[in-house]
């Protein structure tokens, strides 16, 4: 007769519950330690960073020595905003640059609007087809705007469009920017300084991405910085500060920056060509490019730097609906996973140094394992506590690690931004952001992790594509005036 000891059975289950919960909490704690480490490094960097001079001073110092840039704008169904976007880019304050708009087989009137507004004509244009891309149908140029080139090509996705732009670029530096992004007029001259200071070393520079929702826009320029009026973009404002500004500044100063946002990044064209351009088999082509660059340069044993500097600012429209946010976050997660598994061989290999340990390591923790464990914990820990299989200490520890600590990190990021960068001029904006920094950790962050798990699921199923984002466009306060030709 087999004795079935219920007490022992329950003890075993409790032990398993404690172990699993312990692993989840330990992972969360490790993440938090990493975020704290980022905050400290970013804080150190910002405090020791010299405040940037105004654009007149920068122009006087650098305009004679700034390298030429090709600004590449991939556009797919950007009809409502593409003209304003192109016009805004053409008015950037920089000595020598060209703007290449790549119409990636749009099905709306993106190309037609550009042709009509800029009086484009089919032209001969020399293209160096060094990286693969879908066939180019025509190249359009304008007699009014000699530094504007519009490429019309078959649809191939964002990476493919960028590759077409790389092929068409005649300048030694390329700047990739989203069609819905707004660059400040001095962004280019600020962002190219690292390339001047270290001509042979720096291969990529990223700038700050900020949420444009709620800002006052006039003729493609942010003229007044305001906070979004809706809660979802407000959460993203704080999140962008934490992730896009603080985290990237920290990793950049350690030489382990693994992501320059596709919304705004400047690269040496020859470096991008050397790694075969942007990959078209991933939705995280921006992340994958940086990892490829790290890998290539370290394999070649060459001195290089990938930098992030906070001063050049790019404003972008954040999703203002939950459906838009779901699509964006699940896509980002898919991109991160595709890139990680493609380059997992770099993980903790001596040849890749700090990039392999810190850079790829933090991807493993935060992008691969983190969302899964955290979401499992959302259900598991409270359930186990409810079933009396876990003490309240575990529940409190879980809440502390996954919610309360996040408040500290978010507020810390705000504090740094307030102390050093001072982007939001009104005190009431700061008050709102402080409140949002608390709130985002009780609901918003958890939902974002659920969306990331959805991204995991899509990755496992092999789903592809970007999905649709409904663009509301930027509201202008002043009517668009006719642009005088140069």
Partner 1 sequence: MMLAMVGRRVIHTLLQVRRGRQRDALLDDVLGYLSTGDESRIRAILARRRNVRLLPKILHQLLTVVQFDDPQPIYELLRICSMLDHLIRESASIRIDRRMRAVETLAEIRGPEIIAALDARIGDEAAEVSVAALSGLARMDALPPFPEIMRRLDIGRRHSERPYRMLFRSLAPGRARDLAVLLAEELLPAARILIVDALGECDEAIASKTLAVMTHDPSEDVRAAALRSLARLGRKDMAAVVMPRLADAAWTVRAQAVQTCAALGLRTSIPLIAQLLSDHSWWVRYRSAQALAQLGGEKVLSMCMAAGRQNETIRLVRAALYEMELAA
Residue found by looking up tokens 């509301």 in the block = 472
Q: Which is nearer to partner 1, 200 or 281 (CB)?
A: 200
Structure tokens at 354: 């700090």
The answer to whether the CB of 181 falls within 8 A of the CB of 211 is no
Q: Which is nearer to partner 1, 18 or 144 (CB)?
A: 144
- Any contact of residue 124 with partner 1 (CB under 8 A)? yes
Q: Which is nearer to partner 1, 6 or 427 (CB)?
A: 427
- Give backbone dihedrals phi and psi of 218, rounded to 5 degrees, phi first: -135, 120
- Any contact of residue 303 with partner 1 (CB under 8 A)? no
Distance separating alpha carbons of residues 136 and 124, to the nearest angstrom: 12
Using the 8-state DSSP alphabet, how is residue 69 labeled? E
**For partner 1, which stretch binds (CB under 8 A), given 32-40, 197-205, 230-238, 373-381?**
197-205
Binders of partner 1 among residues 232 to 291 (CB under 8 A) are: none
- Any contact of residue 50 with partner 1 (CB under 8 A)? yes
Structure tokens at 240: 């962008």
Burial class (CB within 10 angstroms; exposed 0-12, middle 13-18, buried 19+) of 225:
middle
Task: Using CB under 8 A, count the residues that bind partner 1.
Answer: 33
Give strand pairing partners of 72.
100, 176
Q: How far is the CB of 437 from partner 1 (least distance, A)?
A: 9
Residue 93, Cβ neighbours under 10 Å: how many?
A: 16
Stated as kind and residue range, the H or E segment containing 211 is: strand 202-211
Q: Which is nearer to partner 1, 11 or 129 (CB)?
A: 129
- Any contact of residue 200 with partner 1 (CB under 8 A)? yes
Q: Which is nearer to partner 1, 145 or 343 (CB)?
A: 145
- Any contact of residue 376 with partner 1 (CB under 8 A)? no
Pairing relation of β-strands 69-75 and 97-104?
A: parallel
- Any contact of residue 96 with partner 1 (CB under 8 A)? no
Distance separating alpha carbons of residues 434 and 107, to the nearest angstrom: 42
Q: How far is the CB of 377 from partner 1 (least distance, A)?
A: 28
- Any contact of residue 119 with partner 1 (CB under 8 A)? no
Give strand pairing partners of 174.
70, 267
Q: In the chain, count of helices (H) and strands (E)? A: 19, 12
Distance separating alpha carbons of residues 416 and 163, to the nearest angstrom: 37
- Any contact of residue 349 with partner 1 (CB under 8 A)? no
Q: Which of 243, 321, 391, 411 binds partner 1 (CB under 8 A)?
A: 411
- Any contact of residue 477 with partner 1 (CB under 8 A)? no
Q: Which of 12, 15, 26, 431 binds partner 1 (CB under 8 A)?
A: 431
Which residues make up the interface to partner 1 (CB under 8 A)? Answer: 50-51, 53, 56-57, 60-61, 64-65, 67, 123-126, 128, 130, 141, 143, 146, 196-200, 411, 414-415, 418, 425, 427, 430-431, 434
């Amino acid at each position: 007769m087999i004795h079935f000891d219920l007490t022992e059975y329950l003890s075993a289950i409790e032990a398993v519950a404690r172990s699993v919960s312990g692993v989840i909490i330990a992972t969360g704690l490790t993440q938090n330690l990493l975020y704290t480490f980022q905050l400290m490094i970013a804080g150190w960097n910002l405090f020791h960073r010299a405040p940037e001079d105004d654009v007149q001073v920068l122009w006087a110092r650098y305009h004679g020595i700034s390298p030429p840039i090709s600004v590449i704008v991939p556009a797919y169904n950007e009809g409502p905003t593409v003209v304003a976007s192109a016009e805004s880019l053409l008015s950037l304050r920089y000595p020598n640059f060209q703007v290449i708009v790549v119409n990636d087989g749009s099905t709306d009137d993106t190309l037609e609007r550009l042709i009509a507004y800029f009086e484009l004509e089919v032209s001969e244009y020399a293209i160096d087809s060094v990286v693969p891309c879908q066939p180019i149908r025509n190249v359009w140029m304008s007699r009014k705007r000699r530094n504007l080139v519009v490429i019309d090509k078959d649809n191939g996705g964002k990476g493919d469009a960028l590759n077409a732009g790389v092929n068409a670029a005649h300048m030694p530096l390329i700047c990739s920017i989203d069609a819905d992004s707004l660059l400040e007029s001095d962004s280019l001259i600020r962002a190219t300084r690292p390339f001047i200071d270290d001509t042979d070393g720096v291969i990529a520079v990223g700038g700050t991405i900020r949420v444009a929702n709620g800002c006052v826009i006039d003729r493609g320029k942010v003229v007044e910085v305001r906070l979004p009026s809706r809660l979802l973009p407000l959460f993203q404002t704080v999140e962008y500060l934490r992730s896009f500004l603080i985290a990237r500044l920290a990793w950049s100063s350690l030489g382990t920056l693994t992501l320059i946002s596709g919304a705004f990044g400047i690269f040496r064209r020859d470096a991008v060509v050397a790694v075969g351009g942007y990959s078209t088999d991933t939705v995280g082509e921006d992340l994958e490019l940086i990892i490829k660059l790290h890998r290539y340069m370290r394999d070649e044993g060459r001195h290089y730097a990938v930098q992030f500097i906070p001063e050049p600012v790019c404003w972008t429209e954040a999703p203002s609906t939950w459906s838009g946010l779901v699509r964006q976050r699940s896509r980002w997660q898919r991109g991160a996973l595709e890139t990680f598994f493609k380059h997992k061989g770099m993980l903790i290999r001596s040849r890749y140094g700090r990039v392999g340990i810190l850079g790829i390591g933090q991807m493993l923790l935060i992008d691969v394992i983190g969302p899964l464990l955290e979401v499992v914990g959302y259900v598991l820990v409270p359930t186990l506590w409810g079933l009396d299989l876990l003490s309240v200490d575990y529940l409190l520890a879980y809440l502390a690690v996954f919610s309360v600590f996040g408040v500290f990190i978010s507020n810390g990021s705000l504090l740094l931004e307030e102390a050093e960068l001072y982007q939001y001029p009104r005190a009431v904006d700061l008050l709102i952001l402080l409140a949002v920094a608390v709130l985002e950790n009780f609901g918003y962050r958890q939902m974002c992790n659920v969306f990331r798990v959805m991204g995991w699921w899509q990755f496992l199923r092999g789903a592809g594509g970007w999905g649709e984002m409904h663009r509301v466009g930027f509201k202008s306060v002043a009517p668009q005036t006719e642009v005088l030709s140069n």
